[in-house]
Chains A and B, each alone.
Chain A
């Protein structure tokens, strides 16, 4: 009988003691946290309320603005790092489970929770390599051009009412612009590294940008037109109430434009099936072929930060933002993060299921199908809008609440329920899900 046993690892030195401490902590705290998840959610809700109260009554009137800004920016950067690290770890765990593996299991003692931390440390220690023929300045600049806009976009994203660093009346435009600038870093990286595969990756990214950007913005325009504002805060406020007040359930056109936005957003953060710029089986590693160590980590960070941004946009504009689905509850930022996390999970699910599309097919799909489709949605939504606010008010209200909210809401709930049932069924009926780690059918083995 062949059983893969976990070896007892011993740690030495100061770093070793830290690692051992973290491992012990993970073994102890990990299972505990998992079992107490509802309690933690409640505690976090209370914490969120307390925090806002303290900020409103003590921090804002007393602390000078410069220090407030510094604290807020530090908080944003910490949040981005946290999102990236949890995202990377989660991606590895999720992909492992989808592929009947376990994923990282050892680092940190509990389901490899410290894996991305350890990877980050490893990357920082690596040799700083710049190819001799590369454009040194551009090569060094590119990762920051990719990362800084990704972090800057968080400044305008409201996590709740009052939970935004800089509220502005055109915050949607700002976030989209930041997402657009991020692409420049990728193109620069591919160009500056003076590698043919890198150049291919960069050119593919440019090619993809012109394909997905227009349908993405067009599909965002549909709900924006309904509310009449491009302030993300206003968009979120317009959806308070229950799930039937979310914009996605307002009318069928917004419902469909959510899906077209989601497809375009996959292309926007270079996720499969649109991961052509780094398509590893074709372009080795694409635009980051020559990048290693810390600079590679920065690209990684930027990718996961962008994943959260596009999911956050979808949450605010379509899925009610910080509003809970069951009427007005507190804990807005938690609902917001939970919804965005759910969308990120679906991104990962899609990535580990689908093959990659070819570049001509990306352009074909985006320009020939998605763009006319979103334009139709735009026209349809404007007609719907005109119909409601003008002459036939009673019929319009009937349409709005019966066909729009009720039918679409039921459809959405059926979809979510189907997903949950399917997932539970799959989980219950998967005796071989984690592979054949313990094999007892072999006399010779």
Chain B
């Protein structure tokens, strides 16, 4: 682990070789909180020398909404809508993470139909979230068109969600004990129709963006994150897998019947550069689109009639104690740490947001790179500020 380059001062030794009258000073630039490629309200203070970025320091907290403190004042079912608003691009997965943690502590048995519906929606939401990631990454690179193609497909997924739960962004559909209501008629057919359409489109994204020579030039060998560094910073999700580490909670510690499905865990291979560069992190997401579609198809086959919600007492009280439960979100591992004193609301609730941990590596990656590479690196980490700040 000696090759870990932790955060350090930029190397300015070359300045000594420059004569004093031509020596220049660094320029401090504020990138954000309102900047097109910081994906929300991230603020990065850049120490630049011309186009070179010597050091990048992220500043967060512009979207802090005290979600963890709010949790102490509301009951467990009441907190479900707050989880929607953390990673608002993958609200289903957030619901699932919280519901699993509470169910594990309360010992609630979820009926099988609800389990499969949860998997279907979690994976559909993973597709929707990755579509945003892939599309906006193209946007960061200056390619506008893939973005709208991705959003066209995402729109269809949102329609599916709308038909099931009435909401398009913050669903609160997966609740403690199951899902809120059963699927509408013909849902399986509509889902199949979407997947048939969608799987062909992935080829189009690859032809238009992934294998574009300019795109590869912009992302290959940029922001290289070797596997030890990724592990040391606690990266999870596509960022970790992009560095070549085969770690996916759905395989490593299956929850919600993920062990019944066949799927692969794609990892970065350094096809157009070094393992762990921006292109790898990007392409892992593209590959996961296919895998998620595979899981959805299998889950649709396994659906059988039955109840979709377990009996949960109206005033749910958890036994005194604590629990930590993690799920694999589109952006990484989302963890809920619940401390209960036996009451109707948690004594303390701590959320491990994957975006927060993934963002911490920014300073280490964005060192001695070009200004244009900042957009590439931030985009490849795919942070959602709602989850970073909570």
Chain A residues within 8 Å of B, Cβ to Cβ: 95, 98-101, 196-197, 200, 203-204, 272-273, 275-276, 279-284, 352-361, 432, 435-436, 439, 441-445
| A352 contacts B142, C-beta separation under 8 Å | no
Tell me the chain B residues, 228-250 only, with Cβ under 8 Å from chain A. Answer: none
Q: How far is the CB of B289 from chain A (nearest CB, A)?
A: 18
Tell me the chain B residues, 355-390 only, with Cβ under 8 Å from chain A. Answer: 370-375
Residues of B within 8 A of A352 (CB): 144-145
Contact with A along B210-225 (1 / 0, CB 8 A): 0010110110000000
| A281 contacts B208, C-beta separation under 8 Å | no
Residues of B within 8 A of A361 (CB): 217-218
Q: Which residue of B lies closest to A207 (CB)?
A: B51
Quick one: given A284-B36, A358-B372, are A279 and B142 in contact (CB under 8 Å)? yes
| A272 contacts B152, C-beta separation under 8 Å | no
Q: How far is the CB of B353 from chain A (nearest CB, A)?
A: 24
Choice from B51, B142, B164, B186 contacting A281 with Cβ under 8 Å: B142
Tell me the chain B residues, 140-188 only, with Cβ under 8 Å from chain A. Answer: 140-145, 148-149, 152, 155-156, 159, 162-164, 166, 184-186
Q: Which residue of A lies closest to B165 (CB)?
A: A444
B323 within 8 A of A: no
Known A354-B143, A358-B373; 4 more pairs at CB < 8 Å: A279-B372, A353-B145, A355-B141, A360-B51
| Complex CA distance for A439 and B168, rounded to whole angstroms | 15
| Complex CA distance for A100 and B370, rounded to whole angstroms | 33
| B374 contacts A282, C-beta separation under 8 Å | yes
B271 within 8 A of A: no
Quick one: given A354-B214, A355-B218, are A443 and B144 in contact (CB under 8 Å)? no
Residues of A within 8 A of B215 (CB): 355
| Complex CA distance for A353 and B147, rounded to whole angstroms | 11
| B141 contacts A436, C-beta separation under 8 Å | no
| Complex CA distance for A15 and B110, rounded to whole angstroms | 64
Quick one: given A358-B217, A358-B370, A359-B51, are A435 and B152 in contact (CB under 8 Å)? yes
Which 5 pairs from chain A and chain B are nearest by CB? A356-B142, A444-B163, A355-B141, A355-B143, A99-B148
B27 within 8 A of A: yes
Residues of B within 8 A of A272 (CB): 142
Residues of B within 8 A of A204 (CB): 51
| B163 contacts A443, C-beta separation under 8 Å | yes
Chain B interface: which size bin?
Answer: 35 or more
| Complex CA distance for A443 and B162, rounded to whole angstroms | 10
Residues of A within 8 A of B44 (CB): none
Residues of B within 8 A of A196 (CB): 27, 29
| A360 contacts B35, C-beta separation under 8 Å | no
Q: How far is the CB of B177 from chain A (nearest CB, A)?
A: 23
Residues of B within 8 A of A197 (CB): 29
Q: How far is the CB of A83 from chain B (nearest CB, A)?
A: 23
Residues of B within 8 A of A436 (CB): 152, 155-156
| Complex CA distance for A60 and B309, rounded to whole angstroms | 89
Q: How far is the CB of A292 from chain B (nearest CB, A)?
A: 16
Residues of A within 8 A of B370 (CB): 358-360
| B373 contacts A98, C-beta separation under 8 Å | no
Residues of A within 8 A of B51 (CB): 200, 204, 359-360
Q: How far is the CB of A366 from chain B (nearest CB, A)?
A: 14
Residues of A within 8 A of B163 (CB): 442-445
| B218 contacts A354, C-beta separation under 8 Å | no
Q: How far is the CB of B171 from chain A (nearest CB, A)?
A: 13
Residues of A within 8 A of B214 (CB): 273, 354-357
Q: Which residue of B lies closest to A196 (CB)?
A: B29
Query: How many A-B contacts at CB < 8 Å in the complex?
Result: 106
| Complex CA distance for A354 and B216, rounded to whole angstroms | 12
| Complex CA distance for A439 and B162, rounded to whole angstroms | 13
Q: Which residue of B lies closest to A441 (CB)?
A: B190
Quick one: given A275-B142, A436-B152, are A282 and B217 in contact (CB under 8 Å)? no
| A355 contacts B190, C-beta separation under 8 Å | no
| Complex CA distance for A29 and B286, rounded to whole angstroms | 47
| Complex CA distance for A99 and B139, rounded to whole angstroms | 13
Residues of B within 8 A of A357 (CB): 214, 217-218
B138 within 8 A of A: yes
Quick one: given A196-B29, A200-B51, A355-B138, are A443 and B145 in contact (CB under 8 Å)? no
Tell me the chain B residues, 248-291 only, with Cβ under 8 Å from chain A. Answer: none
B193 within 8 A of A: yes
| B142 contacts A355, C-beta separation under 8 Å | yes
| B152 contacts A282, C-beta separation under 8 Å | no
Q: Which residue of B lies closest to A204 (CB)?
A: B51
Residues of A within 8 A of B144 (CB): 95, 99, 352
| Complex CA distance for A121 and B29, rounded to whole angstroms | 35
| A443 contacts B139, C-beta separation under 8 Å | no
| Complex CA distance for A353 and B186, rounded to whole angstroms | 37
B209 within 8 A of A: yes
| Complex CA distance for A101 and B142, rounded to whole angstroms | 19
B325 within 8 A of A: no
Contact with A along B191-203 (1 / 0, CB 8 A): 0010000000000
Q: Which residue of B lies closest to A353 (CB)?
A: B145
Name 16 A/B residue pairs within 8 A (Cβ), A-sorted: A95-B145, A98-B145, A196-B27, A200-B51, A276-B372, A281-B36, A283-B371, A353-B145, A353-B208, A354-B142, A355-B138, A358-B217, A360-B370, A436-B156, A443-B163, A443-B186
Residues of A within 8 A of B50 (CB): 203
| Complex CA distance for A95 and B155, rounded to whole angstroms | 20
| A281 contacts B139, C-beta separation under 8 Å | yes
Q: Which residue of B lies closest to A364 (CB)?
A: B217
| Complex CA distance for A100 and B138, rounded to whole angstroms | 16
Q: Which residue of A lies closest to B217 (CB)?
A: A361
| A282 contacts B372, C-beta separation under 8 Å | yes
Residues of B within 8 A of A203 (CB): 50
| B140 contacts A281, C-beta separation under 8 Å | yes
Q: How far is the CB of B170 from chain A (nearest CB, A)?
A: 17
B37 within 8 A of A: yes
| B159 contacts A445, C-beta separation under 8 Å | yes
| A442 contacts B190, C-beta separation under 8 Å | yes
| B218 contacts A281, C-beta separation under 8 Å | no
| A99 contacts B373, C-beta separation under 8 Å | no
| A359 contacts B218, C-beta separation under 8 Å | no
Choice from B37, B139, B148, B156 contacting A101 with Cβ under 8 Å: B148
Residues of B within 8 A of A276 (CB): 372
Residues of B within 8 A of A98 (CB): 145
Q: How far is the CB of A274 from chain B (nearest CB, A)?
A: 10
Q: How far is the CB of B56 from chain A (nearest CB, A)?
A: 13
Quick one: given A99-B149, A282-B371, are A356 and B141 in contact (CB under 8 Å)? yes
Quick one: given A439-B159, A443-B163, are A100 and B143 in contact (CB under 8 Å)? no
| B152 contacts A100, C-beta separation under 8 Å | yes
Residues of A within 8 A of B190 (CB): 441-442
| B148 contacts A100, C-beta separation under 8 Å | yes
| A443 contacts B184, C-beta separation under 8 Å | yes
Residues of A within 8 A of B371 (CB): 200, 282-283
| Complex CA distance for A354 and B35, rounded to whole angstroms | 22
